[in-house]
Structure 1
Amino acid sequence: MDIKSMRRVALMGSTAVLAASLSNAAIAQDDEDEESIEEVIVTGSLIRNPNLTRSAPVAIVSSDEMELQGTLTAEEILREIPGMVPSIGQQVNNGNGGFSYVNLRGLGSNRNIVLVDGRRMSPSELNGRFDLNNIPLALVSRVDVLTGGASTTYGADALGGVVNFITKKNFTGFEANASYGVTEQGDGDTKRFEVTVGADLDDGRGNAVLSIGYQTSEAIYQGQRDFSRNVNFYWNGAVGGSGLGPFNTRFGNVNPTGEDNANLSLGAVQEDGTTFGSAFTPFNYGPFNLFQTPFERYNIYAAANYELNDHVEVYTQAMFSKNNVNTIIAPSGSFGDSVTISLNHPFLSDAQRNAFCAFDTDPTVGVYTPTFTQAECDAAGAAVDNTDPNYREVDTQLRRRNVEGGPRISDYQASYFNYSLGFRGDISDTISWDIMGSYGQSDQIQTQKGYWMKSRFRNALLAGPNGCYNDLSNGCVPADYFGYTGSITDDMNAYLQGGESTITTKFDMGQVVGNITGELDYSTPWAEDGLNFAVGAEYRSYSGSQEADLLSQSGDLGGAGAPAPNRDGGYEVYEALAEINLPLIQDAEFAKELSLEAGIRYSDYSIDADGADGFNTTTWKTGLSWAPVDDITFRATFSRAVRAPNIAELFNPVITGLTTLNTDPCSSVGDDGLPNGNGTPTGVLRDVCLAQGAPATAIGFIPAPAAGQSNSTSGGNLNLLPEESDSWTIGFILRPESIPDLTVTVDYYNITVDGSINSPAPQDALDACFNDLSTSNPACQAISRSPIDGGLSGDENIVKGLPLFLSNNGNIATDGIDFTVAYGQNFGDVEWSSNLSGNWTNSSTFQAVTGVSVNRECVGLYSGNCASIQPEFSFNWRNTFTYDKFQASLLWRFISGAEYENRDSDTAFVGTPEDYRGEWDFNETPNYNIFDLTLRYYAMENVTLTGTISNLFDKHPPLTGAFIGATGFNSGNTYPSTYDTLGRRFNIAAKITF
């Protein structure tokens, strides 16, 4: 097949084509491409007739494009498709659970299905998502991305669409791939090695293939880049960080700046290590975090097929992968946890003891009343032990980083296995059958290291001259939280950290799928081709569990977020489906072809839990394709899709963890120790803050959420019902005969999700209360504050924070336009091919509670409410030039500028920092252009050498500052999943085939 024909086939039914640099030389090395590319029209339908015209637009990413980009993981290439929104991947550090996902149209990474050769793979975790790290890239022929409702064809979960990895078929011979990459700064080494062998069996009656791969990536820390070396507060541009650090252990409330008054706040340990003061030094956690998460991965893929006779073929496929991912974040510590301190603690100085004793028990009453008199304080300091009549204790809060003990590390060891066996054959010349069964299992062990245990630092603060009063069996030693940096010794840390904790997550899925497909001897009077159909039935069984050790379950790890209680659950689904594709008119004056496609699927769910009702759903689709002349084809689809609640949404226990939040209407002090502009709550606002648990002594000194995160409480809900989505597309394919090799596609899409399963955004939970202030407002009553400082951070066993419970009360919607332009031309001996694929997103909205919460628009906006950036406009434009054995290809990636969602009410910093070139404006990001250059040389018939320079002009990412967005996406003063943070980097690759 020549490149002209290939391009024409690839574009049939596709919206975006990234296979931009296919050449005769490249095609000659893989005859398999012709067969696999013809399968593009199968994605989105169970009907297996390659001659049919489909109405659903499909984006295509070829294996050739993957080679040009030097792709190491499947998630990387999918993230670059215009219109897609970055999900959790290698660039995410704080929030990365060791997996990589895809997020189609920004609807959520749990609202799409990942397929391999059109078949479901077992999910990797309790939210029902498949880990893209398990994909064997060496055997991927192409990737089809169908966005919009696809539940009729593939079952529930496909609200956002499907990603279908098509593997090479009937591979014969030997292929070895090797690549190495490194940044211009000499860090972040990446390596990839794969060997694939395949052979025909029994004179061509079958084929078997085996592929083994290994990939590894080294860490790149944010401290290794100038723009992220320091954490910069988005509101003033100052070098900042977290409110707890190594140099200023803080007790009690945060420091009221300008108040040198120990009666209002105990303050921070000063540099001499013996006194408290009001000085504030934020902890710069940036250098500890990552822009490239280190991993090591092994993949094994095997497949075979064999014709048992002329009418029956057996086929099988097995996939195994083992992944090791390390996520590293800033040191553990005590993040405002409540503690009790003995006043005869051996490391407590006289000045510090006096500050504890002199603390005003209630500064709001206007009468100074110290906790203890000076005489009582002196006697308590001289107490021999806790049985001494003069022994005294004080209750307070502790804020301190464990910089002496190093960072928090989560080591994720994951293994994945999926095996399928099927039989297919012919019923007649035009009708065939296929039945397949598969079983998949994933296991992940998370080992957490470097965490202080809350119980142990509490025990280490209850100590006297002769040692600890509690937990002596574990070797408790008094800890010096009253000294300056270095005061926590190795012996102290050995006790405080206590060891490692583990969480094991398992998921398995079994399925049986059968269908009959073919063509009936029926056609309309105006068409020659007959009715194509598919009917089938499916059964799937899901089961998932999480088992944690006692330490992880207890929530005793300081800075680990939510505790990890055990959980398990499962459900089953039985389904029946039918599809048709009927040419209505062919070769007429007004219609070279007019065809109709339609489908319906019925699903019955049963949930494995006492008292849980099952449910059933019906999904359907319809589409039209009309070619009035050969040059143009119009197409339109409508789909009704559903997403059933997953195991996590159904069975998760109620727990308190962390969520992104910068502002608190009750707070008066920012995370930098400065007044935050809210002032002191008065009137009804003060009453509400008190009713939520804030003590009267804290009013006027309530701190903002620590490190831009507040506590939140949420959990599963067995009463959840499936989400329902309507999606439709309308567009055209233009292939003018007068301009050979030109193909233009334009498609409008519109997707709405009603009754969406979601938690409120943090701001929604606040607005529900503070926009309708009343102590009797249930939304106000549901918020829980610290009884010590009145904030929304602290001990999760006491401070429940914001209520963010799951419900079916939300809605999600998005619409926009996808377009592609593909063209090629020869200039003598030079062949030029050009492919442009782009997206314009008109709207992307989320409403937590329909008719009540804000219907939040997130296109081109970033904030704590809009997680990842959804640009209004983006495109990829690849131009490739081929001469003899040489090929040069340039990829231009464009992302339109974005704005801070709250710029009108919470203006961010504008200024010129000392340590970065250019001007910061955290209120907006400019248009972002980045270029990648690839050179390829076909050294000989079976050897190809490829070199890629990514981020050719070393473009720095736009900066947004810290705390301006969701923690999992706003990191290193930017959005590393959206913008390139690594700088110019080089990749070389070699492929040998025999």
Structure 2
Amino acid sequence: MSVLLAGTALAAAFPGAASAADEPKAADIIVTATRIVRDGYTAPTPVTVASAEELAKSTPTNIPDALNKLPNFQNSLGPGKSANNFSAIPIHGNILNLRGLGTPTANPKGPLRTLIMVDGVRVAPTEYIGTIDTNVIPNLLVQRVDVVTGGASAAWGSDAVAGVVNFVLDKKFVGLKGNLQAGTSQRGDNNNQRIGLAFGTKFAGDRGHLLLSAEYYNNGGMYRDARKAGQNGYAWVGSTPGCVNTTSDATACSPGGSLNPYKLSSNVLISSASTYGKLYNGAAALGTKLNADGTVSAFNTGTATGSAGIQIGGDGYTIPAHTTAIAPSKTYQNFGRLSFDFSDNFSAYTQMIYSRTEIGYDAMANTLVQGSPTATIFAGNPYIPASLASTVATNGSVGIAAYYSDNRTNVRETTDFIQSTSGIEGKIGGWKVKADYTHSESTHNMAQSGLWDWKKFFAAVDVVSVGGTPTCRVLTDPTVAAQYAGCQPINLFAGNPATTSPAGYAYATGTSQYRARFKHDSFTASISGSPFSLPAGPVDIVVGGEYRKQSMGLTSNADPANLDTAAKKAAYFAGLRGVQSASLYYWLTNVGTANGSMDVKEAFGEIAVPLLKDAPLAQQLSLNGAVRVTDYSTSGTVTTWKAGGTWKPVSDFLLRATYSRDIRAPNLYELYRGDTSGIGIVLDPVTGLNQNASTVSGGNPKLKPEVAKTLTIGGVFTPSFLPGFSMSVDFYKIDMTGAIDALTAQQILNICGTAGTAPECALISRPTSSSFPSMVRITESNISFLKTQGVDIDASYRRQVGKGALGIRLYANYLGQFDTQLYAGQPVVHYAGANVVGSNPVSYPRWRGSLSVDYTIGPIGINIAEQYIGSMNRFLNASAPNLSNFVGGSVPAYVYTDLSVRARIPHGNGGYFEVFGTVNNLFDTDPPIIPGITPGVNLATNISTYDMIGRAFTAGVRFKF
């Protein structure tokens, strides 16, 4: 760490954040930038310091929500920023993402490249996939948050490629404080409550200190159809039906091509199925459909579009709008800390975090469009309507492709997280010694109920008549009847089978479950001091070591690996007819088992060298360097380093620069996860079909660490002629190679094309060479690069105005470059200024900013906060950028306003009772309509960037005694 002195350290501070003027002495201000603590040293790495009190003024829900409004956080995950269609991967909670430093694909890595700490101690992953839900941190005891916006791997270790977010606790708090608040949106949803209590006391003659806190947060969530962006069935479709290619560009007539640009349309449907069943003969559609009353009628193809398999109006299907947009959730957070000073030179502490998160939501409904698009009903089934039975050959069949939109599956997830840390700190002969041990465990449980259980489903739909009674055919086969005991027939010709055949539907559905456990143990020790001095001051060094061990275990009742051969499938589905080649255990959420562990051994050192002090044009000139050697049991040894310096020619101005080599090592999930199934609509170049394809993805134990080079150059201006004003401008450039990424199913199909000769073709399974894929395998590798650069601008001003105190803070970011290349040979994709359309929408505006104006007079305070999101162009296809042509391709700039008022009554020595009210999105600004290309997959806006709740109110009380 480094001590940042008055006028320089907090040029990046929030208004009201800790500043030298507020603190009793400069040495009390220790900001996370390096491990060195030294009077007179100014960190070369840019740091934003945000006080918890100021963050709460505009965003009272929690501190991470407030941080995500700052421009240097981009494309973070949060309650309103996560899709809820699938449950195979837990991506819930507040997962911070500095600089959006993840490739915008189906496998975003940005949150994994941000290191989260509490008081300089690494927070272990709260989920087995490696992410950290920052809601586990005790909000009430957070004093401030330090955000290091440059590479910091040499100082703090792996994952600090984008930077570090360090939550600094008020470890000396004495007294009782708490809050009680409730909120709701203007439309009556997203009802939320938060209650918390914290207590601190000294004992044993002030040598001991005890801290305790407990917090509870509840959010009722909301459905998609509660907002305009979730209504009307918006999607992007090709604008030129029957496009004829008159150019040399083979993709000109593809959706998004130059002759078939995407246009925004409503009431968009997928034509491969209907709500109660589109009828097929093999792969050929019969042009008819089933109705809710069991009758058969012509299938209405609606209005054709320039996207194959997509229609406007008619009898296709879409994912229903009445599904979860923000999942209802509950968080229970508990914290305790005990510290004791055994002498003036020796102290020890132990602390524990325990958090439990509960979440529930409606996910994708049951469907019969997996791979080959139908459920097969064989001749002789007594449920086949007479009008249809006459057209079915004696040994023939009829297929049904249906999306039962009323039969949504339900997901329940819980995560229990515990982290205990104990440490000692002392002085030995002028040297400071410090050691910490951390043990962490997380357990994630998921249960998705109401899913088609394929084994039972195929048994239930294959019905014959026995003595005039519909009976599961397998029960008439004595060789397998015991395997299907209790089978109940299901009628797919009478509308919604959940209501017309409740016994059969109950038999044919089940619950997919998995449990993941993650353990983390780490030990860190360091020694720091000043072995000698130069004329400009003492030379400070830190040396130390760190050891980490992590292990992951995942169990599942639907492991695809158990059905990965023809023999295994034949045994599991014994006696059944109509089993699809892509069928596994359940319609969704077939999660593979996983086991793996990793040991990490590290040695690090850092040095700060003062070169000049109080010299002409060099009030201060110093250099800083750090190096860390890390040995991973999984991928070998890697070295990270940092070199930087500061130059203060005059008292009003400081220049700083750093250059570093940073890494992110692959985590256990990326290395060892088992095969997991998924689905997604793809346009197959071979068949021309646009429908769901089954995918399987798994870990890759051969992954290596990602490597990044980071350069920051900037300056801090604190003019003596304008007291209270400070401003910093910092340029940053990050070049990452060997980034871990994976091709999407669509990209694999595009690269393979119709020739079938590319290496990627081996990842595609087809029943025949001309059939739609039955499976596409997705595997991560060190294949990508990422380059980004931009400028951070920070200005703050504090002064007395009249009888009150005014604080103004402006923070802005300009993104000059954000380029990725998925792998060698693919085009470099330029994302700066792009609003990326897709099932995982992200954005990279050229300009983002936040402005906070706070005025306090007597007991009354008012805060106005503005967020600015710059204009962007719509962008879709990373593997083929020429397929990102849109009719009306730009999204205008957006501004959001938050208003907060408070009345504080002082009490005793620093105590208070405060009543507050906040209006977020004061002017109820609707988000732009930005749907995906698959109808109904998400809310029709970019959930990672824009507010989809609208005007929302929060009121409550805070107190401190």
Which bracket does the TM-score occupy, shorter chain normalised? 0.7 to 0.9
Does residue 1:199 correspond to 2:173, yes or no?
no
Counterpart among 772, 775, 787 of residue 800 in structure 1: 775
Instruction: Tell me how far 1:409 sits from its aligned partner.
Output: 1.7
**Which residue in 1 is equivalent to 2:668?**
647
Q: How far apart are 1:905 and its partner, in Å? A: 5.5
- From the superposition, tell whether residues 60 and 190 of structure 1 become closer, same or farther in structure 2 (CA, over 3 Å): same
Alignment partner of 1:102 out of 96, 100, 116: 96
Contact residue 230 and residue 286 of structure 1 kept, 8 A: no
1:2-48 CA distance string (max 9 Å, x none): xxxxx99687445743x335699xx9xxx9x8489976653121112
Larger displacement relative to structure 2 (109-118 or 821-830):
821-830
Deviation of the 1:990 alpha carbon: 1.0
Distance 1:898 1:785 in 2: 39
Mapped pair 1:983 → 2:950: yes
Q: Show CA shifts across 1:119-156 (max 9, x none).
A: 01221223322222211111111111112321111111
Whether contact under 8 Å (1:21, 1:889) holds in the other structure is no
CA deviation map 1:90-122 (0-9, x unaligned): 112235544431221122111121111110122
Say yes or no: does 1:239 pair with 2:261: no
Q: Secondary structure at the match of 1:133?
A: helix
Asked if 1:742 is matched to 2:720, the reply is: no
Question: How far did residue 502 of structure 1 move?
Answer: 1.8
Letter in 2 for 1:60: V
Q: Who is 2:577 aligned against? A: none
| Residues 761, 465 of structure 1: alpha-carbon distance in 2 compared, 3 angstrom cutoff | closer
Aligned to 1:61: 50
What secondary structure does 2:265 align onto?
A: coil
What's the offset of the Cα at 1:787? 5.5
Per-residue CA deviation, residues 637-673 of structure 1 (Å, 9 max, x unaligned), is 01101111111111123444235x65x252xxxxxxx
The structure carrying a bigger strand percent of its residues is 2
In structure 1, C-alpha distance between the alignment counterparts of 2:474 and 2:54, rounded to whole Å: 62
CA distance in 2, matches of 1:10, 1:112: 28
Amino acid at match of 2:666: P
Change (3 A) 1:15 1:451: farther
Does residue 361 of structure 2 align to residue 350 of structure 1? no
After superposition, residues 618-637 of structure 1 pair within 5 angstroms as 618-637=639-658
1:592 to 589, 602, 619: 619
Q: Relative to 1, partners in 2 of residues 1:838 and 1:821: Cα closer, same or farther, differing over 3 Å?
A: same
* Deviation per residue, 1:254-278 (Å, 9 max, x gap): 99xxxxxxx6535422465232533
Residue type of the partner of 1:807? Answer: S
Q: 1:929: which partner in 2?
A: 895
> How far apart in 1 are the matches of 2:659 and 2:640?
11
How many correspondences in the alignment? 867
1:783 corresponds to 2:771: no
Structure 2: distance between partners of 1:785 and 1:867: 30
Following the alignment from structure 1 to structure 2, what is the Cα–Cα distance between the partners of residues 464 and 575?
A: 67
TM-score, normalisation: structure 2: 0.85
1:111–1:157 CA contact under 8 A, matched in 2 = yes
Within a 5 Å distance, the mapping from 1:556-635 to structure 2 comes to: 556=584, 558-561=586-589, 563-607=590-634, 614-635=635-656
Find out whether 1:857 has 2:857 as its counterpart.
no
1:335 aligns with 2:363: no
Q: Report the counterpart of residue 834 of structure 1 in structure 2.
A: 808
SS of the counterpart of 1:64?
Answer: helix
User: Which range is displaced more, 497-506 or 234-243?
Assistant: 234-243
Partners of 1:510 and 1:284 lie apart in 2 by 46
Pair 1:212–1:791, CA change in 2 (3 A): same
Match of 2:530 in 1: 519
Superimposed CA distance per residue, residues 964-987 of structure 1 (whole angstroms, 9 cap, x where no aligned partner): 79x9xx721101231111110100
Contact 1:295 1:324 in 2 (8 A): yes
Which residue of the partner structure matches residue 310 of structure 2?
Answer: none
The 5-angstrom pairing of residues 897-976 of structure 1 reads: 897-902=871-876, 921=888, 923-941=889-907, 942-963=912-933, 971-976=938-943
Superposed, 1:185-334 pairs within 5 Å as: 185-235=187-237, 236-241=264-269, 247-252=275-280, 264-265=285-286, 267-270=288-291, 273-279=294-300, 280-334=314-368
Distance 1:341 1:486 in 2: 14
TM-score normalised according to structure 1 size = 0.82
| CA positional deviation for 1:407 | 2.1
Mapped to 2, the partners of 1:139 and 1:36 lie a distance apart of: 22
Change (3 A) 1:41 1:825: same
The answer to whether the 8 Å contact 1:15/1:57 transfers is no
Deviations 1:773-820 (A, max 9, x none): 63333234533346599445xxxxxx212x432111211121111111
> How has the CA–CA distance of structure 1 residues 980 and 50 changed in structure 2, closer, same or farther, with 3 Å as cutoff?
farther
Secondary structure of residue in 1 paired with 2:420: strand
The CA deviation at 1:283 is: 3.3
Counterpart in 2 of 1:162?
A: 164
Residues in 1 aligned to 2:504 and 2:960: alpha-carbon distance in whole angstroms: 55
CA distance in 1, matches of 2:455, 2:499: 17
What's the offset of the Cα at 1:74? Answer: 4.2
CA distance in 2 between counterparts of 1:783 and 1:543 reads 32
Q: 1:435 to 1:443 in 2, by over 3 A?
A: same
Change (3 A) 1:488 1:352: farther
2:858 pairs with 1:892? no
1:769 matched to 2:803: no
The answer as to whether partners of 1:619 and 1:642 remain within 8 angstroms in 2 is yes
The Cα shift of 1:580 comes to 0.8
> Partner residue of 1:814?
788
Superposition RMSD in Å:
2.9
Q: Given residue 606 of structure 2, which amino acid in structure 1 is its aligned partner?
A: E
Q: Structure 2 CA distance, aligned partners of 1:53 and 1:533?
A: 15
Q: Any unmatched runs of 5+ in structure 1?
A: 1-6, 256-262, 358-371, 377-391, 608-613, 667-688, 690-698, 793-798, 911-920
Matches within 5 A, 1:702-717: 702-706=688-692, 710-717=693-700
Where structure 2 has 5 or more consecutive residues not aligned to the other structure, the ranges are 102-109, 238-263, 301-313, 476-480, 564-582
Corresponding residue to 2:544 among 533, 536, 540: 536
- Distance in 1 (CA, whole Å) between partners of 2:29 and 2:779 is 41
Measured in 1, the distance between the counterparts of 2:57 and 2:486 equals 58
3-state SS of 1:640 partner: strand
| Aligned partners of 1:232 and 1:239 also within 8 Å | yes
* C-alpha distance in 1 between matches for 2:861 and 2:742: 50
Structure 2: distance between partners of 1:37 and 1:105:
30
Residues of 2 paired with 1:490 and 1:788: CA distance? Answer: 38
Q: Is the 8 A contact 1:837 1:875 kept in 2?
A: yes
Q: Which residue of 2 aligns with 1:476?
A: 487
Residue 419 in 1 paired to residue 420 in 2?
yes
Measured in 2, the distance between the counterparts of 1:351 and 1:817 equals 70
Deviation of the 1:537 alpha carbon: 0.7
Alignment correspondent of 1:758: 741
Counterpart AA for 1:617: V
Name the CA distance, whole Å, in 2 between partners of 1:40 and 1:130: 27
| Residues in 2 aligned to 1:722 and 1:906: alpha-carbon distance in whole angstroms | 32
Describe the SS at the equivalent of 2:842: coil
Change in Cα spacing, 1:227 to 1:129, as seen in structure 2 (3 Å) is closer
The CA deviation string for residues 832-891 of structure 1, in whole angstroms up to 9 with x for no partner, is 211000111111122121344544535423134984112111000011111111111100
